[in-house]
Structures are given as C-alpha cells and as structure tokens.
Amino acid sequence: MDVNGTSSISGSLPISKQTGPSNTNINKTPDSKPISSPQDKLEISSAGRMLDEMTNNSDMRAERLAQIKAAIDDGTYETDEKLEAALGRLLDQINDSE
C-alpha cells in the first residue's frame, strides 16, 4: 500500500453507478415475518379478587360505615394513635415537598 499524504489527491471524479447485486433489499431477510408489538398481560391474584369483591359488596361496605359512624358518635373513633399517625403523614408530606 502506498500512502502519499494529502498532496496526492486528484481532482474531483464523477460518481459512477455501482455494478453488481442490488442493495434495495439490504434489511430484508428471506422469509422474514412482520415484527409484532409486545402484548401486556394482567393476572389478578385470588386475594386481589377477594378484596375487589369486598369493596364492591354494598352489604359489607354499609356494615363498615355503620361501625365507623357508631365509633364517631360514641367518641372512640379518633384515638391518640390515629391522630399521631395522621400528623406524622402530614409532616412527611410537608418535608417531602420542600
């Protein structure tokens, strides 16, 4: 191989058409199949189905609401532990937003 540096560059040359096999199918392979997009799949556990049924069951919901209302009426719903937990969550949210 002979390297002569930049001084050996000849003038511009015309671009000639390439001869040989066609390059139009470079990215295609024989018998190629179309690419399919991935499909999402959701599986709900038996515990998840049970919780869904419980929340959608109006009888269970009504019973729970009656228990909460009774606790509020007799003053046992708001305990010190519940207030501390609520205050702690509020302070955490305030600290996270800063």
- Sequence length of the chain is 98
Whether the full predicted model's pTM is greater than 0.85, yes or no, is no
* CA geometry: angle 47, 53, 54, nearest 5 deg: 90
In whole angstroms, how far apart are CA 81 and each of 48, 51, 84, 86, 91? 28, 26, 5, 9, 15
Q: pLDDT in tens for each of the 98 residues of the chain?
A: 566 655 555 556 667 666 655 555 555 555 667 788 888 899 999 999 988 887 777 787 888 889 999 999 998 888 889 889 999 999 999 999 87
pLDDT of residue 91: 94
| Residue 84 confidence (pLDDT) | 93
Look at residue 39 in the predicted model and tell me its pLDDT. 87
Nearest to 78 by CA among 90, 68, 88: 68
